[in-house]
Amino acid sequence: MALEDDISVLAKAPLFSLLERDALRLVAFASEARSLRAGDVLFRKGDRSDGGYVVRSGSLTLDSSEDGSPAAFTAGPSALIGQAALFTRIARPATATATEASTVIRVTPSLMRRVLEEFPDAAAAMQDAMAEELDRLSQGLEGVRQKLIAIDGEEIPAKGTDED
């Protein structure tokens, strides 16, 4: 695929869609592509991350249970796999397996650091987007907490309080 094709795929991916064209060009140029056959494992649950991946073509399933049940998520073109792994090395929470011939674009934390340093407006936009995502997650968890309280009919102590 040509550089312009990779830029187009990246521009549609979560977080990367916040980058300006020159930043996308840098990511597309400095990242590396990896081709997978159907059934190939990109990484396994528990592996130490080496970056995040954007699906260029094909699809991969993400399975965190590894108990033979159907995979919880399938990532297709322009999907971002491993958002946190773009910024730091973490243990992979799931196994990623190609469901068909696929190509992914690997973006390392060092490349992301370079992009964010060279494009501070993009860094700010990504920070804002991730903060909003975290806020939505927190609100969702509070909703679950309130439903559990309603089911139990009693107050559940907030985390960090001493009610023994």
* pLDDT band (50, 70, 90) for residue 162: low
pLDDT tens, 69-104? Answer: 666 789 999 999 999 999 999 999 999 999 999 999
Residue 162 lies in a domain: no
Is pLDDT at 163 greater than 60 in this prediction? no
Which domain range does residue 119 map to? 3-152
CA distance to 30, 59, 62, 159, per residue, from 162 (Å): 51, 47, 38, 9
pTM of the model: 0.78
Residue 108 lies in a domain: yes
Structure tokens at 118: 């060279």
Residue 164 lies in a domain: no
Distance CA 47, CA 97 (A): 14
CATH number of the domain within which 40 lies: 2.60.120.10
Residue 39 lies in a domain: yes
Structural domain tally of the chain?
1
